[in-house]
Amino acid sequence: MLGKRRIYSERWWNKKKLWILLSFSIFLILVRISKGSFYRDIYYFLSTPFWPGQSQKEILLKSYEQELFATLSQLEKDNQRLRELLSLQRVSQEDKINASVISRQTGSWWRILILNKGSRDGVEIGDVVVGPGGLLGVIDNISFLTSSVKLITSTDSKLGVWTQRENIHGLLIGQGNDSPLLTFYLKEIDVKVGDFVFSSPASTLLPANLPIGIIETIDKESSPSVIASVKLLANPHAIDWVQILKMRI
């Protein structure tokens, strides 16, 4: 009777190798189910000391900037070529003149900047003036040494613009204050506070897509069309240096 009894070590659950095999199989199944995420997480901790440093990041960012710049240049060239074909307003890189502001009337009835470049430097009436941020105004008077810029906040200023998100056209009218009024041509339109406003490609006065401002408030109840107040990107009260873009048709 005693001889027929199995010894303890012969039972299957007491076999060490079997348990190892079972555990390994379960591990493999888990790896398969989790699609190796466990391995990736382990690798995350193991590889931390060898990650690319700040210099590598800067190199990548610089490369990315260069790529964007190259793309932008290419697109600008395309734009110039197409606008030339369509005989629309255009500005080339050679036609930009840097000027400094020598007089500023930005708080009263008259919204004018006087620049230190005039007809001697090739500035002409109708040239567009931009500053850090975007469009400031249009040259409306020149002398031999200076030129006068009528700001887009002036009550005489009226410009064709469009919004970036939905390409809705409108007329930007200076109100004498710092926020010109944007009058849309339609009543039922999709404009939101925060939409960017650019110069319209249909404008005969300005080059297309110059950044102008951001929609600050919208009055959808006004009749006959929707009006919005625009906060300008370029601040004429503080700008000391501007760029004159010579216009060509």
Partner 1 sequence: MRLRSKLNFSVLSFLIIPIMIFWNPQFLSLMGVQPYWPLFWLLPWAIIYGPMNGLFSGIFLGLVLDALNNDYHSQIPGLVICGIWFGRLSVSRDSINKFKFGLLTSMGTLICGLVYFSQIILFSSNLKSFYLFSFAIKNIFSQVFLTGILAPIFCSWLFLLFDNRKLEVNKFRNPTST
Which residues of the chain form contacts with partner 1 (CB under 8 A)?
102-110, 112, 114, 140-141, 148, 150, 155-156, 173, 175-177, 179, 181, 183, 227, 229, 237
Closest approach, Cβ 49 to partner 1, in A, equals 57
Closest approach, Cβ 229 to partner 1, in A, equals 7
Beta carbon nearer to partner 1, 138 or 244: 138
Q: Find, among 226, 245, 222, 242, the residue nearest to 234 by Cα.
A: 242
What are the φ/ψ torsions at residue 220 (nearest 5 degrees)? -80, -10
Closest approach, Cβ 90 to partner 1, in A, equals 26
Structure tokens at 77: 């060239």
Beta carbon nearer to partner 1, 179 or 243: 179
Q: What is the CB neighbour count within 10 angstroms for residue 161?
A: 25
Closest approach, Cβ 139 to partner 1, in A, equals 11
Q: What is the CB neighbour count within 10 angstroms for residue 148?
A: 19
Beta carbon nearer to partner 1, 104 or 169: 104
Q: What is the CB neighbour count within 10 angstroms for residue 196?
A: 16
From the CA atom positions of the chain, what is the Rg in Å?
Answer: 33
Beta carbon nearer to partner 1, 87 or 108: 108
- Report the C-alpha gap between 95 and 110 in whole angstroms: 28
Closest approach, Cβ 155 to partner 1, in A, equals 6
Beta carbon nearer to partner 1, 97 or 114: 114
Quick one: DSSP state of residue 248? B
